[in-house]
Structure 1
Amino acid sequence: MKSIQRIALFGECMIELQEQVGGQLRRSFGGDTLNTAIYLARMLAGRPAEVSYVTALGDDRHSQAMLDAWQAENIDTHLVSRLPGRVPGLYMIQVDAAGERTFSYWRDSSAARAYFETEISALELELATLDVLYFSGISLAILPQAGRERLLAAAHSVRQHGGKVVFDNNYRARLWPDSAEARRWYARAFAQSDIALITLDDHIAMQEAPISVADALAQVWTLPTPEVVVKQGGADTLVRLVGQPPVSIPPAPVAQVVDTTAAGDSFAAGYLAARLCDHDVISAAEIGNTVAGTVIRHRGAIIAPTAMPAIQL
C-alpha cells in the first residue's frame, strides 16, 4: 500500500501585478491551477500527501522567485522544467468597487507553453505513481495541439494505472481561436476525467449561442465524467454522481466580497482535499464553499496562511 498520496497539478503560473490605491502595483504570482495547488497544499498540511506543481519556467530571477515561493508553501517542484531564455507570462488585475476583477495578459511567449516540447517530460515519466492529475481548460488552451494531445494521453495513463483525473472547465475565450475548438478539446478532457469542476458561467460562455441556466445544466448532467460539480457563484453548488440525481449545497454566507480572484480555484482545493480525505460530496462542497468564501474576503489570488479558515479534514 502507498504511504503517501501524490497529486500533480499542471498549468501556468504568471507574474501577477495588482493595481493598488494611487496607481501603485503589487507583484505576486498566480494562475488558476497554481492557486489551487497552494490552497490544496495548505489544506493537506500534516497529512501523507505530496502536492506537485507541473509547469515550465525560464532561467530568469522571476522564475526562481516563483520556485522559492512554491517551495515555501510546501509544494513539490521536481516536475517543473527550466527552459533557458524563456520567461513567465504576466497579467494585471484591476478590481472594481463590487470586488469584480478585470484582467490584462501578456503571455504569448510564456515558458509553460513549451512544457511538452521535449521528447518526454518529467510528468510523463511519473504518471504511474500519481494518485491524482489535475488540469484546467486554461491548461489546455495555453498548449499547442501536440502538447494538448500529450496532456490528454497523460490523463488516460493516470487512469489506467488506477489514479484519478480532475478537470476544471476554466474558460478564457481569448486563448482559443473559437469556441467550437474549445468545446472539442473540453469534450475530450471530460471523457478522460473522474471529477469535472464546472463554473456554470464559463460553460455558458463557450456555447455557440446564448443558452439559459436550465439548458446549461441539462447539458452538464449529460457529461460522461462520473462526478460533476457545478459552481454558480453565490448560488447553490450542485453535485451529480453517476447514476444519482444532483444534490444542492448552499454557499457559505459572505458579509462583504472584496475580490473574487481565485474563488473557483480555492473552492476546487477545498473540495478535492475533502474528497481525498474521504468526505462525501456534500461535505466536500461545504468545505469548498467555506474556503472560497474566505478567499473572496481578501485581495489577491492567494490570501495569507493565517487567514485560512480552520477546517477539520
Structure 2
Amino acid sequence: MSTPTYDVVAIGNAIVDILATATDDFITEIGVAKGSMQLMFSSEEADALYAKMGPGREVSGGSAANTVAGIAALGGKTGFLGQVAADQLGDVFAHDIRAAGVHFDTPARPGEPTTGRCLIFVTPDGQRTMNTFLGAGQFLPAAAIDRAMIADAAILYLEGYLWDPEEPRAAMRAAIDTAREAGRKVAFTLSDVFCISRHGDDFRQLIADGLIDILFANESELAALAQTDDFDAALAKIAAQVPTLVVTRGAEGACAIQGGTRAIVPAEPIARVVDTTGAGDLFASGFLHGQAQGRDLETSLKLGAICAAEIISHVGARPVVNLKALADRLG
C-alpha cells in the first residue's frame, strides 16, 4: 500500500453559516429545541427565518468542512468534497476553505437551489441552535467524487448530516468502497440524534458490515445508536462493534476505546463558553490529526480537547488562533 499524500479527505455539506445572538424566548418562539439542528426544506423557509434574525455574521461552515479546516490549521494535508451552487455564497465557501489550506475543486452546480446555509442562533449561555437549508449540497453526485484523492488519503471522513439526501448518500457509499479498495481507514460522525432517528438502521448496518474504522458520537447520539440510555452499556455495546469509538461529553471531556484500550481526557479549561458551534467538528480535527500522525489514543483525545476549547471560546466554527502552536504544547 502506498504512502498517502493526504492525512484526511472529507465529504460533507458545503454550507455558509450565518450566526446571530438570540434569547431563549426567541428559540422557543421559532419552535426549535435549544442546542439542536433542524432541516429547512426550501429556500422560502430559510428566507423567512433569516428575516427574523438579528444582525448576522457569515462564516463558511459545514461539519466535515470545519473538521478538515481544523486539521489544515494543525499542519495536516486535507481535501474536501462538497457541492456548492454557482452563486455568491458558493464563491464565499470555496474561497474560505481554500484559504484555510484545504484542497477543494468540486465544480459548482448551476441553477437552483442555492448554496447551503445554516442559520445559527447563539444564546447567552453559548449554546447554538442550528437551522440548516442544505441547498445544493444535497445534490452532490457520485460523479463528483474524486476517487484518486480518496485513495490517496490515510483517512476518509464522512458526516452523518449528508446521509439524508439520496444523491450524496450514494456518493458516500462509492467513496467508502474506494477507500476500502485502497486499504484506507473510514471515519464517520453521527452528527445529530435526528440523523440517527432517520437513518439509524443504515448506520448500524455500516458498522455491522465492518465499513467504519473510527466512529464519533456525543452522549445523546451514542444512546440513540445503541438504543439504551445507560451510558456504560451503550459505550460497551458500540465499542465492541468498531475498531475505534470516540465519545464527546461536553464539559465532562471525552473518552475513546480502541482495540480494548480505553482513554479519558477532561475538557480543556477556558474562561467562558462563547459559542459551541463546531465544538464536535474541531474535536474531530484534533483527534483525526493525532491518529494520522501516529499519536496514541490519549494524545489524540487531548488534541481534540485543545481544538474544541479554542473553537468554543469565540463565535464561529473556524479557528481564529494558531491551532498548531496550541497543539505543540503536547510535544
TM over 0.5, yes or no? yes
Q: Residues 147 and 93 of structure 1: is their aligned pair in 2 closer, same or farther, counting only changes over 3 Å?
A: closer
1:217 equivalent among 218, 226, 235 = 235
2:136 equivalent among 108, 111, 121 = 111
Residue 246 of structure 1 aligns to a residue whose secondary structure is strand
Q: Could you list the per-position Cα deviations for residues 167-192 of structure 1 after superposition, in whole angstroms to 9, with x for gaps in the alignment?
A: 1111251xx5x82x411121233331
Q: CA RMSD in A?
A: 2.4
Letter of the 2:178 counterpart: S
- For 1:3 and 1:160, the matched residues in 2 are separated by 14
Q: Residues 274 and 125 of structure 1: is their aligned pair in 2 closer, same or farther, counting only changes over 3 Å?
A: closer
Report if aligned partners of 1:20, 1:26 keep a CA contact under 8 Å in 2.
no
2:179 equivalent among 158, 161, 170 = 158
Gaps of 5+ in 2: 23-52
Q: Any runs of at least 4 consecutive aligned residues in structure 1 with deviations exceeding 6 A, and if so which?
A: none
Determine the structure 1 residue equivalent to 2:19: 18
Q: Residues 287 and 148 of structure 1: is their aligned pair in 2 closer, same or farther, counting only changes over 3 Å?
A: same
Residue 58 of structure 2 aligns to a residue whose secondary structure is strand
Q: Could you list the per-position Cα deviations for residues 138-170 of structure 1 after superposition, in whole angstroms to 9, with x for gaps in the alignment?
A: 1212x21x5424412321321221211111111
Q: Could you list the per-position Cα deviations for residues 215-272 of structure 1 after superposition, in whole angstroms to 9, with x for gaps in the alignment?
A: 322332232x211111111114211112x14222222223321111111100100111
* Greater alpha carbon shift after TM alignment, 232-241 vs 285-294: 232-241
1:183 equivalent among 200, 208, 220 = 200
In the TM superposition, 1:46-125 aligns within 5 A as 49-78=76-105, 80-86=106-112, 87-107=114-134, 110-116=135-141, 120-124=143-147
Q: Could you list the per-position Cα deviations for residues 48-101 of structure 1 after superposition, in whole angstroms to 9, with x for gaps in the alignment?
A: x531110111111221121111111111112x1311113212221111221111
Report if aligned partners of 2:193, 2:220 keep a CA contact under 8 Å in 1.
no
1:198 equivalent among 193, 212, 217 = 217
Matched, 1:139 2:140: no
Aligned residues: 295
* Bigger RCO (CA 8 Å, 6+ sep): 2
Residue 238 of structure 1 aligns to a residue whose secondary structure is strand
What TM-score do the two structures reach when normalised by structure 2?
A: 0.81
Gaps of 5+ in 1: none
2:309 equivalent among 293, 306, 310 = 293
Q: Residues 169 and 249 of structure 1: is their aligned pair in 2 closer, same or farther, counting only changes over 3 Å?
A: same
Q: Residues 7 and 218 of structure 1: is their aligned pair in 2 closer, same or farther, counting only changes over 3 Å?
A: closer
Report if aligned partners of 1:294, 1:308 keep a CA contact under 8 Å in 2.
no
- For 1:26 and 1:121, the matched residues in 2 are separated by 30
What TM-score do the two structures reach when normalised by structure 1?
A: 0.85
Report if aligned partners of 2:268, 2:309 keep a CA contact under 8 Å in 1.
yes
Residue 295 of structure 2 aligns to a residue whose secondary structure is coil
Identity %: 22
